[in-house]
Amino acid sequence: MTRQLMEEILTRRSVSARLLGDPGPDDAALEKILQGASRVPDHGKIHPWRFIVIRGEARETLGQVLRDAYHDQEAAPSPAKLDLEATRFTRAPLVIGVVSRIVSPHKIPEWEQTLSVGAVCLNLLYSAHAMGFGANWITEWYAYHPKVRAALGLAENEKIAGFVYIGTASMKPEDRPRPALGEVVSEWRAPLG
């Protein structure tokens, strides 16, 4: 079991949203995935995050908000580009918006709350993977657009930490380069003398 889990950790890869098709998780699988995602270190037990589930026709409705928002921010977008923006959420059967809701002021520093939200996103990837699905944690431009924020019902103190696209992977991605441990690891030793 331990060896299997380590193998998963050492081989997991994100699968691009456009390569995530049907079937997506059913209600029971979704609940498990969200429970798995919620099991993260959380200093102060304040769970400074929440999930927004986007699936079914809601993906298209929200896509129209993206189309509008894109129209606002670009001088003269082509109809083809607008169509593409409108279909972003339909790339996968399920999208989970992970929202950070930093509690401030609070004795737990904002930085630590933010780290907990990142842990949720990664756990969401692992939980989806463990349930046999591919997943992709992305933000793209629309995570930051005021119209999209409003449509999602985000409060002032809330931010999109990621849209995690989940579905059945249509292909297995190649591995990608990882930093050599020598680049990221050092060992602290007491100074001589």
- Site for ligand FMN contains 116 (CB under 6 A): no
Among 140, 152, 158, 168, binds ligand FMN (CB under 6 A): 140
Q: Which of residues 93-112 bind ligand FMN (CB under 6 A)?
A: none
89 contacts 63 by C-beta, under 8 angstroms? yes
| Nearest residue to ligand FMN, scored by beta-carbon proximity | 14
- Site for ligand FMN contains 162 (CB under 6 A): yes
- Site for ligand FMN contains 14 (CB under 6 A): yes
- Site for ligand FMN contains 52 (CB under 6 A): no
Q: What is the amino acid identity at position 48?
A: P
Burial of 16 (0-12, 13-18, 19+ CB in 10 A): middle
Q: How much is the CA Rg of the chain, to the nearest whole Å?
A: 19
- Site for ligand FMN contains 133 (CB under 6 A): no
Packing angle of the helix pair 2-11, 110-130 (nearest 10 deg): 110
Interacting residues toward ligand FMN by CB under 6 A: 13-14, 136-140, 162, 176
